[in-house]
Structure formats: structure tokens, C-alpha cells
């Protein structure tokens, strides 16, 4: 008989509290910024923009390419493409590499020295080389995002395998299981919670790196939108780009968390 997931309802105060705190934060922000042309005790509009102004600008930028040359949806789509490609490549390479490094000493001996050499280098430090290699197009930013995302994938997958239950491994050896059978039936399943943790961490790394890459070398994307806002002295454009990055990253993170909850429900029980 399968065990169902026990669902509990949150107390009403815990449901309302995040909404109240968010609304209160936006209201304080709204009334802390002075209107354009007004000088009083509040923050000047040249240093910070009201959230209502950012909202109006965001609606306008859905169809208006001015002043940066592209609509908000165009910037969003470019950034999503770059992050998705780099992120998926990081998962496809980093997770299997980390799993294999965790169990097979030969793979660990070959790959770990190279990985430990590359790991401390900040992804942003690769930008000058990637401009030489790929220009400022899609390939360069995907490479930088891949470099950023592969590190947590390898580390978490490696750690997950090393945390496998030694009793289960020893029993499997007693019954004649091969190294590959132990790896696929014990080590990989036991590493899955750590692997899904890597998905969240790698996503955060990829988003941070994407914005940094687009700030330095790009002609479209949410990071480029922030750069153009800085160049034009438009704090509303800068904040719109920052809010767009934050909301998109949060939505993707929630989706990954939902997938993790469904796939690993049996393991957690």
C-alpha cells in the first residue's frame, strides 16, 4: 500500500503575513520617493523611482522599444534563451561528472585536479576571453553561464554520492553486485536530493552571471536593459530590469521546487 503525502493547511496568519509585508514594503517605498521636481525630506526621483512609475514603464515597454531599442519581451526572451542553454549544458555535463567523480576513483583522479583549478576562477573573469573567442553574441554568454552553473552541479552531485549509505553498499558487495550496479541502484538515487539542490543553486549562479555578462558585453537582454538605464540616467529603467530579473528567477525557482517535490516525494518519505 502506497503512503500518501500528508497535506496540512497553513494557519491563516502565515498566509496573510507575506502579502501584508510585501504591500507594506511597496507602500513605504512609494511614499519615500519624492515626485519629480519636488524637493523635500524624501529621496529624490533621480536616485530612486516609485514602484508605480516602474509598473507604468513596464507596461509601456511591453510594446515600446524606446529608448534602448527593444521591447521588454525581447530583452526577456534573449535572456531566457541564454540562461536556458547555459543552464541545461551545465546540468548535462556537471551532474553526470559529479556523480562519476563521487564513485569511480579513475574519473575522480582525472577530472578533479582540473575542476579544482577552474572552480575558484570567478565566471566574470572569463568574459574578456569569451569576447575574443565568441564575440558578444549568444555563444559567449552561454559559455560564461555554463562555467558558472557547472560548479554547484559537480559539487552537489559528488557530495550526494559520497554520502551514500555505506551499509547498503557493503551489503550489495556481499551479494556480488558490481561497481556499476552499486552506482546506478544505490549511489545515484541517494544523491538525487543533493542534485536537485544543485538545480536551485546553479540557477541562481546562472542568473547572476547572465546579468554580469550582459552588463559588460551585450546588445540585448535584461542586463543590457539595466546598462542602458545607467547610461541614460534613468533609474526607472534600471529598477525595471532588476525587478524583471528577480521575478523571472523566482518563478523558475518555484517551478524547480515543485518538480523536486513531486519526483523526490518517495525518497523523502
Placement of cell 575522480 in the chain: 108
43 strand-pairing partners: 33
Taking the C-alpha atoms of residue 43 and residue 32, their distance in angstroms, rounded to an integer, is 6
What does the pLDDT average to over 9-16? Answer: 72
pLDDT at 169: 83
C-alpha distances in Å from residue 211, one per residue of 123, 197, 215, 220? 12, 22, 6, 11
Instruction: Return the pLDDT at 2.
Output: 45
Kindly report the average pLDDT of the chain as a whole number. 83
- CATH code linked to domain 65-268: 1.10.3720.10
The H or E element that residue 116 is part of is helix 105-118
Q: What is the pLDDT of residues 125-154, one digit of tens each?
A: 888 888 888 877 778 888 888 998 999 999
Residue whose cell numbers read 534563451? 81
Residue with cell 540562461: 83
- How many C-beta atoms surround the C-beta of residue 110 within 10 A? 13
pLDDT higher than threshold 70 for residue 268: no
**Domain coordinates in residue numbering, the chain:** 1-48, 65-268
What pLDDT shows up at residue 6? 53
Structure confidence at residue 265 (pLDDT): 63
pTM equals: 0.78
Amino acid at each position: 500500500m502506497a503512503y500518501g503525502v500528508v497535506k496540512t493547511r497553513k494557519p491563516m496568519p502565515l498566509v496573510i503575513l507575506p502579502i501584508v509585508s510585501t504591500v507594506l514594503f511597496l507602500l513605504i517605498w512609494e511614499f519615500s520617493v519624492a515626485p519629480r521636481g519636488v524637493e523635500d525630506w524624501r529621496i529624490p526621483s533621480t536616485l530612486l523611482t516609485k514602484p508605480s512609475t516602474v509598473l507604468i514603464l513596464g507596461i509601456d515597454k511591453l510594446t515600446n522599444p524606446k529608448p534602448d531599442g527593444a521591447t521588454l519581451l525581447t530583452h526577456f526572451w534573449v535572456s531566457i534563451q541564454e540562461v536556458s542553454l547555459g543552464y541545461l549544458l551545465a546540468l548535462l555535463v556537471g551532474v553526470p561528472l559529479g556523480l562519476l567523480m563521487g564513485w569511480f576513483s579513475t574519473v575522480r583522479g582525472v577530472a578533479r585536479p582540473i575542476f579544482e583549478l577552474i572552480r575558484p576562477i570567478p565566471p566574470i573573469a572569463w568574459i574578456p576571453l569569451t569576447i575574443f573567442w565568441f564575440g558578444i553574441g549568444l555563444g559567449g554568454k552561454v559559455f560564461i553561464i555554463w562555467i558558472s552553473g557547472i560548479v554547484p552541479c559537480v559539487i552537489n552531485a559528488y557530495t550526494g554520492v559520497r554520502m551514500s549509505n555505506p551499509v547498503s553498499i557493503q551489503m550489495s558487495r556481499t551479494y556480488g553486485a558490481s561497481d556499476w550496479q552499486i552506482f546506478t541502484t544505490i549511489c545515484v538515487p541517494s544523491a538525487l536530493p543533493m542534485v536537485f539542490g544543485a538545480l536551485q543553486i546553479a540557477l541562481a549562479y546562472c542568473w547572476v552571471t547572465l546579468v554580469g555578462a550582459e552588463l559588460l558585453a551585450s546588445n540585448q537582454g535584461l542586463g543590457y536593459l539595466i546598462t542602458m538605464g545607467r547610461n541614460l540616467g534613468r533609474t526607472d529603467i534600471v529598477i525595471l530590469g532588476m525587478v524583471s530579473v528577480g521575478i523571472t528567477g523566482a518563478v523558475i525557482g518555484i517551478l524547480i521546487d515543485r518538480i523536486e517535490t513531486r519526483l523526490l516525494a518517495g525518497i523523502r518519505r
